């Protein structure tokens, strides 16, 4: 048996839904309808499997970001689209899986942290700089500082204490965060772009 992409996607679902600890290899095999032997033929051990699944998740995001980076939108529009994708992906990261990652796969956890703190922040920093050249973002804004602020905004979604008791759709929370953030960094011209972009946007993909 060959463990198709569909299978690996099922594994991701299970890991994300029940956490890495609760989802044992036996349970995984049972849910996939295959034997453990088959899993171990494709993945040396559980750690490799977990890395493959989360690495895939991260790569997906990396690719989406790269694709967006290609297109010829203005900086503000890009920034918003990228943020939307980031927020959308965040919601899959439940407290359980984050907890299990930190505890049992610290290297992978650090890799995810690094990805966010370095790669993503770097992309946003460059976007903000571009926005400044385009005259859409105010010159007083320090791109390094502000891109970290954005990272912290996305972090808020991971903390169940912050917004979840409000019982608002992610779209609403996203919208408000962007309203503050974009409003806070744009020139009058940039604000116009934000208003038109906003009108076109559809957060649920």
Whole-number minimum distance, CB 23 to DNA, in Å? 7
Asked if residue 70 binds a copy of itself (CB under 8 A), the reply is: no
Among 10, 12, 31, 38, binds DNA (CB under 7 A): 38
Nearest residue (CB) to DNA, 40 versus 115: 40
Q: Pick out residues in 152-191 that bind a copy of itself (CB under 8 A).
A: 160, 166-171
Binding mask 18-37 for DNA (x = CB under 7 A): ---x--xxx--xx--xxxxx
* Among the listed residues 151, 131, 148, the one whose alpha carbon sits nearest the alpha carbon of residue 140: 131
Q: What is the secondary structure of 17-75 as a DSSP string? A: HH-TTTS-HHHHHHHHTS-HHHHHHH-SSHHHHHHHHHHHHHHHHHHHHHHHHHS---H
Name the segment binding DNA (CB under 7 A); options: 38-46, 55-63, 124-132, 153-161: 38-46
Whole-number minimum distance, CB 51 to a copy of itself, in Å? 19
Tokens of 116: 């966010």
Q: Which residue is associated with the tokens 């529009």?
A: 77
Torsion of CA 59, 53, 84, 110, to 10 degrees: -80
Asked if residue 204 binds a copy of itself (CB under 8 A), the reply is: yes
Asked if residue 148 binds DNA (CB under 7 A), the reply is: no
Alpha carbon distance 31, 46 (integer Å): 16
Residues that bind DNA (CB under 7 A): 1-2, 21, 24-26, 29-30, 33-38, 40, 45-47, 104
């Amino acid at each position: 048996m060959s463990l198709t992409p569909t299978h690996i996607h099922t594994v991701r679902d299970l890991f994300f839904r029940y956490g890495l600890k609760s989802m044992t290899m036996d349970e995984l095999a049972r849910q996939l309808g295959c034997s453990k032997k088959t899993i171990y033929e494709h993945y040396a051990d559980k750690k490799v499997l977990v890395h493959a699944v989360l690495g895939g998740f991260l790569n997906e995001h990396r690719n989406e970001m790269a694709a967006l980076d290609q297109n010829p939108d203005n900086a503000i529009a890009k920034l918003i689209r990228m943020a939307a994708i980031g927020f959308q992906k965040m919601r899959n990261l439940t407290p359980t899986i984050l907890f299990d990652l930190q505890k049992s796969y610290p290297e992978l956890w650090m890799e995810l942290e690094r990805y966010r703190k370095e790669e993503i922040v770097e992309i946003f920093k460059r976007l903000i700089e571009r926005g400044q050249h385009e005259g859409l973002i105010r010159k007083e804004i320090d791109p390094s500082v502000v891109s970290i602020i954005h990272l912290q905004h996305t972090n808020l979604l991971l903390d169940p204490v912050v917004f979840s008791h409000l019982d608002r759709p992610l779209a609403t929370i996203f919208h408000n965060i962007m309203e503050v953030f974009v409003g806070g960094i744009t020139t009058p011209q940039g604000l116009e772009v934000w208003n038109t972009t906003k009108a076109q946007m559809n957060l649920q993909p």
